[in-house]
Amino acid sequence: MTIVREETPIYNELSPLPDGGEEGGSATVSPEVSAGAAPRVTPWAVPGVSTEVTTEKPAAPRRKKVAIVGGGPTRAKAPYKKKDWEIWAFSSSKYRYRRVDRWFEIHHLKDLRQQLAGRRRGRRTFEGYMKYMRRLKCPVYMMKRHRKIPRSVKFPKDELIKEFGPCFTSTASWLVGLAIMEGYETIGLWGINPRGPEYRRQRAALRYLLSVAKRRGIRLVFPKEFSIRIPKKAKRVRTRVLYAYGWKSKKAWWRDRVYRRLRRERLRRLRRKVRRKLRRRVRRVHRRRRSRAVRARRARRARALRDGARQPRTLRYKYGMHHMRGRAA
């Protein structure tokens, strides 16, 4: 806190002098003024009134509630109508969210294109999803700012890793960590329920971050369908491949479906290539056989024309020589 205190007031010539003095009376002049230096102009010092000036900024108000909404069935139960809840959403599904304050898509665009290449019911295509994010009127948090998304914002990955370590294995875990770091008092999860063997890697990190939030005194709100149990003691989780950011790694488990589809497409291409080669070979064989048959037919016809009427009757009719019946060879 910076404090400015005025100790010695300086009077100008139009003000009444102290001790009832009048203009022209005796007054004490400082050495700097008598030496010809310009006097320092200061405000009046009023007796009994403090002249302290503070430059401290008021503390930012603590944020209240945030609802993290995914693409699961319970997304419809999120508190969209309650204005004291801030809505954070993420999903490539075609569901129309009633209200969104922040949108999150932290996958690399190449990874996202490959994931959305396979047609799935209820999912947007890559072009449709990009068009949807372009139309959003709220900040869109991405791996980096993208020129095609005008409201894109870089996601604070480094700050979260510094705060919690490399433990993030899903988009929901990234968002829970961000909500804790930004100081929300209440965190709610809707449309998020990592159930099943394909989500086993995601549950541990989400359980750890929720237990961290609970230990810090943050109130947690879940729908009835939420199946993750939060332990009292937070067990630290570490992962070698950060979700979304390690998409080039062969151990990127969230791309297993993409790898299977790419493998199937590769096998299809190989089969098509083999079929083309076989067809070409078969065509060559047929051409050779045809050419041999044609040559043999032509030779027989030439021989028959050479022999003339001496050929049997069937051959004469076959080769169109029945008009040569009575002729000699």
Phi, psi dihedrals of residue 128, rounded to the nearest 5°: -65, -35
Could you read off the pLDDT of 216-243 as tens digits, one per residue? 999 999 999 898 888 888 788 899 999 9
For the question of whether the overall pTM of this predicted structure is more than 0.75, the answer is: no
Could you read off the pLDDT of 106-152 as tens digits, one per residue? 999 999 998 888 777 888 999 999 999 999 999 999 999 999 899 99
Q: Which residue has the tokens 């604070």?
A: 156
Q: Which residue has the tokens 């069935």?
A: 73
Name 208's Cβ contacts closer than 8 Å, sequence gap at least 6.
167, 234, 235, 236, 237
Supply the Cα-derived Rg of the chain in whole angstroms: 43
Residue 121 DSSP symbol: T
What does the pLDDT read at residue 237? 87
C-alpha 228/C-alpha 124 separation (Å) is 28
Could you read off the pLDDT of 154-199 as tens digits, one per residue? 999 999 999 999 999 999 999 999 999 999 999 999 999 888 777 8
Query: Which of the pair, 78 or 318, is modelled with greater confidence?
Result: 78
Residue-averaged pLDDT of the chain: 78
Structural tokens at position 278: 């076989």
The half-sphere exposure of 325 on its side-chain side, counting CA atoms within 13 A, is 5
Residue 205 to residues 141, 175, 179, 239, 248, Cα–Cα distance (Å): 21, 12, 15, 9, 21
Burial 160-180 (b: 16+ CB within 10 A, else e): beeebebbbbbbbbbbbbbbb
For residue 86, pLDDT over 80 is answered with yes
What does the pLDDT read at residue 185? 95
3-state SS, residue 78: coil
What does the pLDDT read at residue 145? 93
Confidence band of 324 (pLDDT split at 50, 70, 90): low
For residue 65, pLDDT over 70 is answered with yes
C-alpha dihedral sign at 179, 80, 100, 241: positive
Which residue(s) pair with 189 in the sheet?
68
Could you read off the pLDDT of 296-316 as tens digits, one per residue? 888 887 877 777 645 555 655
Q: What percent of the chain has pLDDT over 90?
A: 40
